Amino acid sequence: MAEFMTETELRSPVVPCPGTAEERWGRADDAGPLEGHEAAALLECTRAVVDPELHAALESLPGAMRRIALYHFGRQHADGTPATGDAGKAIRPALVLAAAAALGGPAARTAAVRAAVAVELVHNVTLLHDDVMDRDTSRRHRPTAWTVFGVTDAILAGDALQALALRLLAEDPHPAAGPAAARLADCVVELCAGQYTDTNLERGAPEGVTLAEVLAMAEARTGALLGCACALGALYAGAGPGDVAALDGFGRQAGLAFQLIDDVIGIWGDPRHTGKPAGADLAARKKSLPVVAALSTGTEAAAELAELYGTPCVAGDTEGVALAALAVERAGGRDWAQAEAADRMARAVQELSRAVPDPEAAGGLLMLAEFVTRRGS
């Protein structure tokens, strides 16, 4: 079976993107085939366009909140000295800009920069808060904010970023800013509901969690924000309700594919590229999509996995993690996740074609979707 893009490929070298913002985007628009390096260049172009507005927003925070936020975004070390750390791939703001361009051209893309920053801020709210709730100690190859500044301060920094996101849209004179703010607020509520469901599912017995429940939770936690990003771009392009809904559907389905791949990486990813220990999700006994799919098969391997998940993982138990990974694979969890991701991407493309039937106009969105779910032979 063809494999999805590896974590190494996801972190492929970024192509330099010199020139003005529009020159950068023009080259990205004309990139041609949907190859990983062109997508990486598009993401770098997004960073170049979005970062000045993002940096200005972060600098507007009061001292303590600013320090935590700048650390989280990789702009400062814990002691406040400048840093050049990893700020993430910028997939969500790139989707905002690509959606705006697909439906409204370069002018709409330029107008949507604040909306792109707002989406990136909300995304990082979820990261700050998720790290606290999941007790993750590493993100982007450095200690998580809560481990450096404390739980309370990390939560407050996340709250401040959410307020910044809504302020950016409230101060934006663009006619789409009001509907965009309302849609982003609704998305945050959906994200919270998804996180609540996730937390409750994690408390339950392994055999009591259904695949339908976990897919719905994944759509709320991951698909909702990618869908919102695409919908905001459509709003800034002046699109009608049908096209906005189609772009939202595209992002949601692509988001599910993204989550499926992320869950695969969470089990089988290379720690040198993920920044987390091998099998970290298994060690934490997370009921990720491949795990729940494996548990639902009723096979001997599923029973073994349920027994493993029924006992706490001892720190440093690499053998137990390896046994769990093998059980997931033997029960078909890995194959199912890859096939399901392919199906979700097919649905995403169908949704996109409703609003943007011209593949050339949809090129940026297709490029980003292909980037996170690219297959090798």
- pLDDT tier at 272, thresholds 50, 70, 90: confident
Answer yes or no: CATH 1.10.600.10 is held by domain 3-376: yes
Over the chain, what is the mean pLDDT? 88
Q: What percent of the chain has pLDDT over 70?
A: 89
Of residues 255, 290, 242, 228, the one with CA closest to residue 372: 255
pLDDT (tens digit per residue) in 214-266: 999 999 999 999 999 999 999 999 999 999 999 999 999 999 999 999 999 98
Q: With beta carbons less than 8 A apart as the criterion, state whether 168 and 181 touch.
A: no
pLDDT (tens digit per residue) in 283-321: 889 999 999 999 999 999 999 999 999 888 777 788 999
Alpha carbons 198 and 196: distance in angstroms, whole number: 5
Of residues 37 and 180, more confidence is placed in 180
pLDDT, residue 32, reads 42
